[in-house]
A and B are shown apart, each in its own frame.
Chain A
């Protein structure tokens, strides 16, 4: 296992198109998070899964955004009818349930998907 993998690394799309990103977490981690990061800002929380259950969604996640984690493995984040304001780096992170492990190792982030909406 080489860590959290995100695909694609870069995506350029025209305004109004739909895009989908994929995240493959570390296989032993049952917690998965999506964050969005714009230039000069820290990551902003979007949503969280424990196994296949989506337990929390940020107000940043408008109706155009949907995330899934079928079977508690990989996750997808879809943005419908993209807008220029959606341009950002979309980061996925995973962590185990076990609190001591999280305390020692924090979250493991992927390298992100950079979305540019033109």
Chain B
């Protein structure tokens, strides 16, 4: 069956360090993969999208990699700040109109 897996345990890191979040998937052939941030009681906010033919994409302190052979995406936040504390969701899109979300990973950045 199709499955998206993100680190189920929360990630705790010290301010200034790089946070790395993992998204693994099985039985999908996504055309592209998205990452969203979600704060408690709010809807997800789009961060980055990476296509299947792209290896890496950057936006300010964010970097996403996409390995279609490993069926894995890594999401990095460099120079992390307490304000980066949130839940981060990966989402797969097979090119149609239905986007499938992972359960998310909670990130806590301590000052």
Q: Which A residues are within 8 Å of any B CB, using their own CB?
A: 4, 31, 33, 35, 40-45, 48, 50, 55-56, 91, 93, 103-112, 114
Closest to A48 in B: B97
With A and B bound together, what is the CA distance between A43 and B87 in angstroms? 12
> Are A107 and B97 closer than 8 Å at their CB atoms?
no
* Chain B contact surface mostly: strand
Binds A, one of B34-42, B63-71, B78-86: B34-42
Q: A35 to chain B: which residues have CB within 8 Å?
A: 101
> Are A110 and B89 closer than 8 Å at their CB atoms?
no
A-B contact count (CB 8 A): 55
With A and B bound together, what is the CA distance between A112 and B43 in angstroms? 6
Asked if A111 meets B42 with Cβ closer than 8 Å, knowing A41-B103, A103-B51, the reply is yes
Interface centre among B99, B102, B104 (most CB of A within 10 A): B99
Closest to B36 in A: A106
Asked if A56 meets B98 with Cβ closer than 8 Å, knowing A103-B49, A106-B36, the reply is yes
> Are A107 and B99 closer than 8 Å at their CB atoms?
yes
Q: A33 to chain B: which residues have CB within 8 Å?
A: 97, 99
Interface centre among A41, A48, A106, A110 (most CB of B within 10 A): A106
Asked if A107 meets B46 with Cβ closer than 8 Å, knowing A42-B103, A56-B98, the reply is yes
